[in-house]
């Protein structure tokens, strides 16, 4: 009986040490993120230099009379969330394309040979229109 309680005590102590170590790692990572955080102005400057001094598109919030500090903060938020959306898009696009590819394969199986030829021509026409739009508006 005595051995069993000693074993339990050792297990509890080992578990507590593991949790303590794990929480130390988490706190350390959080501290590292905080210590390396940039001010809105630094983010704005680095984003502009990375984009070749480009500015963001006008937004509705620009028409409410923002102060210089607010403008800098909005710029920082715009670029921060723009990067998050870009990352999301990078993760999402391959999955979207795979689903659409499966859809098109099954859709084409429903069509007759004549309809398939017409469908393919229409798809090519749409792709050409998109390519023209992208060439004329590279920011979109």
Which tokens is 16 given? 């507590």
Residues 107, 70: contact at Cβ < 8 Å? no
Q: How far is it, in rounded angstroms, from Cα 86 to Cα 77?
A: 14
Residues 48, 78: contact at Cβ < 8 Å? no
* Residue extents of the structural domains in the chain: 1-37, 38-136
- Residue in 75, 72, 35 with CA at minimum distance from that of residue 51: 75
Residues 48, 55: contact at Cβ < 8 Å? yes
Give pLDDT tens digits along the chain (140 positions): 567 777 777 777 777 767 666 677 666 666 666 555 555 555 555 555 555 555 778 888 888 888 999 888 988 898 888 888 888 888 888 999 999 999 999 999 999 999 999 999 999 999 999 999 888 887 65
- Residue in 36, 14, 16, 34 with CA at minimum distance from that of residue 24: 16
Q: How far is it, in rounded angstroms, from Cα 57 to Cα 72?
A: 14
Q: What is the pTM of this model?
A: 0.42
DSSP state of 53: S
Output the CA–CA distances (angstroms, integers) from residue 38 to 3, 20, 42, 48, 117, in the order listed. 55, 30, 6, 14, 55
């Amino acid at each position: 009986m005595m051995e069993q309680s000693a074993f339990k005590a050792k297990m509890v102590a080992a578990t507590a040490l593991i949790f303590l170590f794990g929480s130390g790692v988490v706190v350390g990572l959080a501290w590292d993120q905080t210590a390396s955080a940039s001010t809105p102005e630094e983010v704005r400057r680095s984003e502009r230099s990375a984009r070749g001094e480009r500015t963001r598109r006008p937004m509705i919030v620009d028409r409410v009379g923002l102060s210089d500090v607010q403008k800098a903060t909005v710029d920082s938020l715009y670029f921060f969330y723009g990067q998050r959306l870009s990352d999301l898009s990078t993760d999402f696009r391959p999955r979207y394309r795979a689903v659409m590819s499966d859809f098109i394969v099954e859709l084409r199986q429903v069509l007759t040979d004549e309809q398939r030829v017409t469908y393919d021509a229409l798809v090519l026409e749409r792709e050409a229109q998109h390519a023209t739009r992208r060439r004329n508006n590279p920011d979109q």
